[in-house]
Chain A
Amino acid sequence: MTKNKPGLAFIFLLFAAANAFSAQPGGAGKERTQTGPMAPLRLAGLTAMDMPYDAGGTALLKWDVRPEDTPDTSYQVYVSSMETGGWIKADEFPAASRTSSEIDLPFWAWNAAPKEHAVKLELNNFYGEEQAAASVFRFKVTTVRDKKAFDSQVVSVKTAGNWFRLDRLNNLVLLLVIIIVFFLAVSHAKRKGLFIRRIAGLDAIDEAIGRATEMGKPIYYVPGIGNMSSISTIASAFILGEVSKKVAQYDSQIKVPHYDPIVMTVCKEVVKQAFLEAGRPDSYREDINQFISQDQFSYAASVDGLISREKPAAVFFMGYFMAESLLLAEVGATSGAIQIAGTDVETQLPFFFTACDYTLIGEELYAAGAYLSKEPMLLSALKVQDFGKLVVMVSVFFGIILVAAGAKFHWDPFVRVILNLFKAY
């Protein structure tokens, strides 16, 4: 992965160069000399342009930093949509502030020159959204010193919507890298025997099902309150398949109370298939999957009631959970069940971890499905995830060394490059 780094940086630099070239003011900011009683004070380099990388409706004003920018001086920016007059005060700030380097854009998309003032003006604050995007606006900057105001020349611009958020390039590059790795891994998925380390807690599943069989009590499998597009629910459905296969083999009972009707239909298929694969289609019953409620706490209340009445031997909590996690787990613990939980909601993990016998933490839940089923496609996806984590570990490790060194020796541009690379815009 370290080898890739210079390559990435090179791509960024290319873009930066291309952008610096294209970001030239060009014809956008036409200067006009105003003819009036008061000769305007010329601000060198005053240009108005369209703010890049946005949906339109925001203008950008730039002019050079001047030696006159003393602390007691301030600038006022005026905007107008009319040919003459109609000035609205849009902004006011001390002269020693608002340089280009204060605009929060990465180095490959923005030239942060400290010798230049740059002011972003969101025109829809002053005009309607339609007008802000469509008309030509005129701007002037007034320098205020000792209660005296000097107008600048007037510049104008029409804003436009842009087609690419160059500032999100780092995100896009990362996305492409992951897609490539993803397809590499998927196309090699048929290769057997991809290694996955043992996941503690999964052995407990067998133990729990065995115990339930011995005691002749049911098993509850709670898939949580996620919908089918949450990853934990998808993982949970895979685990449910494996669990119900074992349940069918042992001829034990399983119950699955549902929050989401779509998840329920999926789980019905999964359980049916599992019973079929285990060679026990006759034991499959429609009421294994049961719809409870689509209201968070009434779901919890009802499942609590079920658990405390039926006293299951084992309870699985796998999927997406919110505040009801502890409501469910504590009742399960009281009724004496072995509890195995797994969720990727990090705020709820502490409660499962303390109240249940075994807990699959975050990603372990995703891995569990792969580990149990040994399905090549799942395993290869897990490899992509490991690759991603490797990228993070390596980036953090080298990032921290480089940034610390850079800061120590005051290589500010270098530090900025690294920080920009790892920032989402």
Chain B
Amino acid sequence: MLKETLGKFFKIDRRWIFLLLAVVLFVPIIKPIGLPNKTISRDTRHAFDYMDKLPAGSFVLFSLDYDPATRPELHPQAVAMVRHAFQKNLRVGVVTYIAGSTGLIQQVFEKVPAQYNKVNGTDYVIFPYMANAVAVMTQMASDFYGIYDKDQDGRDARTLPVMRGIRNYKNMGLIVCITGTSMLDYWVAYVGDKFKVPVLGGVVAISQPGYGPYLQTGQLKGLVGGMKGAAEYESLIGQPGKGASGIDSLNLAHLLVLALILTSNLILLIIKYL
């Protein structure tokens, strides 16, 4: 009798599993549970510390190169790091080399600056999309304005208060590249190494392990990886957001998968040996 019921459970209609997963992922979006996330990985901590120690007024160049496909993981990272920069009164410049990310950058700067009373042009600036990243990166080493003479709204970049004293990489405190592509490798290889500018990275969870060597050698000062990294960074700046609710969802969903795998094996055992 038990075996029969279990046998049925074994071949359970997959749609129940789908429903469970949907619920588990959706609920934390409406109501973040705040599951414990005590561990903060070393690389996120380093990234946070590096930005935290920059003197106020330093110029941070954000290269936000992610498109809607990697948005769930990278957008919360971008929001958290931009927030942190504003908290520390750093000047923020944004560039991008992925056409699809312009809309997402817009979304970041629709809300965040207002919370910190930051003004476009005075405290931050967004530059238009450029193709051919490597060429642009190399060019910026000698003259930033040779490439970016105007900001996204068509204002003369040289006269913007936020750009005061910025001519090339030497005048920048930090470069942050958040991407799901190999753009971060370019920043490290063509800019960080060559012109001795510190580089921080934000990447998707899958590509995170690949950056181990760069971190070891200090070519990357810190790395934020995946939704987990975003959640960690949010908790470091004391502003839980999409990263935190995302990691709640992921926590539960992963647990669900594990529970399912274990149940199916348990049933298998019972049917076989009892």
Taking beta carbons and an 8 Å cutoff, which residues of A are in contact with B?
125, 334
In whole Å, how far is B167's beta carbon from the nearest beta carbon of chain A? 15
C-alpha gap A332/B14 in the complex (Å):
13
Chain A min CB distance to B192 (Å): 15
The answer to whether A125 and B138 touch across the interface, beta carbons within 8 angstroms, is: yes
| Residue in chain B with minimal CB distance to A126 | B142
A125 contacts across to B, CB distance below 8 A: 138, 141
Secondary structure at the A interface, as helix, strand, loop or mixed, is helix
Q: Which residues of chain B are near A334, meaning CB under 8 Å? A: 14
A334 to B18, CA, bound (A): 13
* Contacting residues of chain B (34-89) with chain A, CB-CB under 8 angstroms: none
CA distance A334 to B17 in the complex (A): 13
Interface bracket on B: under 10
Return A351 CB to nearest CB of chain B, in Å.
14
With a CB–CB cut-off of 8 A, which chain A residues contact B14? 334
The 3 closest A-B pairs by CB, nearest first: A334-B14, A125-B138, A125-B141
Please measure, in the bound complex, the distance between the C-alpha atom of A334 and the C-alpha atom of B15, giving whole angstroms: 11
- Within B1-22, the residues touching A (CB, 8 Å) are 14
Whole-angstrom CA separation of A334 from B138 in the bound complex: 52
Alpha-carbon separation in the docked complex, A125 to B190 (Å): 11
B residues whose Cβ falls under 8 Å from a Cβ of A: 14, 138, 141
Number of A-B contacts (CB under 8 A): 3
Provide 3 A-B residue pairs closer than 8 Å at the C-beta atoms, listed in order of the A residue: A125-B138, A125-B141, A334-B14
B interface, by DSSP: helix, strand, loop or mixed?
helix
Q: How far is the CA of A405 from the CA of B177 in the complex (A)?
A: 43
B120 to chain A: closest CB distance in Å? 33
Assembly CA distance A125 to B138 (angstroms) = 7
A404 and B138 CA atoms in complex are apart in Å by 41
Measured between alpha carbons, how far is A334 from B141 in the docked complex, in Å? 56
Task: Give A152 to B141 CA distance when docked, in angstroms.
Answer: 27
Q: With A and B bound together, what is the CA distance between A334 and B14 in angstroms?
A: 9
The smallest beta-carbon distance between B263 and chain A, in angstroms, is 17
Chain A: CB-nearest residue to B14: A334
Residue of A nearest to B206 (CB): A347
Instruction: Select from chain B the residue with minimum beta-carbon distance to A91.
Output: B194
Q: Which residue of B lies closest to A334 (CB)?
A: B14
Question: Closest residue to A347 on the B side, CB-wise?
Answer: B206
Once bound together, how far apart are the Cα atoms of A357 and B14, in whole Å? 18
Cα of A125 to Cα of B169 in the assembled complex, Å: 14
Which residue of B has the minimal Cβ distance to A125? B138
B6 → chain A closest CB, angstroms: 21
Nearest residue, chain B, Cβ from A330 = B14
**Residues of A contacting B138 in the complex (Cβ-Cβ under 8 angstroms):** 125
For the complex, what is the distance from the CA of A125 to the CA of B168, rounded to whole Å?
14
**Closest chain A CB from B186 CB (angstroms):** 15
Distance of A334 Cα from B13 Cα, bound (Å): 10
Closest beta carbon of chain A to B197's beta carbon, Å: 15
Say how far B218's CB is from chain A's closest CB, in angstroms. Answer: 16
Chain A nearest Cβ from B187, distance in angstroms:
16
Identity of the chain B residue whose Cβ is nearest the Cβ of A92 in the assembled complex: B196
Closest Cβ–Cβ distance, residue A205 to chain B (whole Å): 26
Whole-angstrom distance from the CB of B142 to the nearest CB of chain A? 8
**Across the two chains, which residue of chain A brings its CB closest to B141?**
A125
B15 to chain A, nearest CB (A): 10
Chain B min CB distance to A295 (Å): 14
Shortest A102–chain B CB gap in Å is 14
Assembled-state Cα–Cα distance A339/B14 (Å)? 18
**CB neighbours of B141 from chain A (8 A):** 125
Chain A min CB distance to B159 (Å): 28
Across the interface, name the chain B residue whose C-beta is closest to A124: B138
**Residue of chain A at shortest CB distance from B196:** A92
* CA–CA, A399 and B156, complex, Å: 60
A21–B138 CA distance with the chains assembled, in angstroms? 36
| Smallest beta-carbon distance A404→chain B, Å | 22
Docked complex Cα distance between A123 and B138 (Å): 12
Least CB distance, A195 to chain B, in whole angstroms: 40
CB closest chain-A residue, reference B15? A334
The CA of A72 and the CA of B141, in the complex, are separated in Å by 27
* Cβ distance A93 to chain B, nearest Cβ, rounded Å: 11
**How far, in Å, is B143 (CB) from chain A's closest CB?**
12
CB distance from B265 to the nearest CB of A (A): 14
Shortest Cβ distance from B10 into chain A, in angstroms? Answer: 15
Distance in angstroms between the alpha carbons of A21 and B141 in the assembled complex: 38
Q: Which residue of B lies closest to A333 (CB)?
A: B14
* Bound Cα distance from A314 to B141, whole angstroms: 59
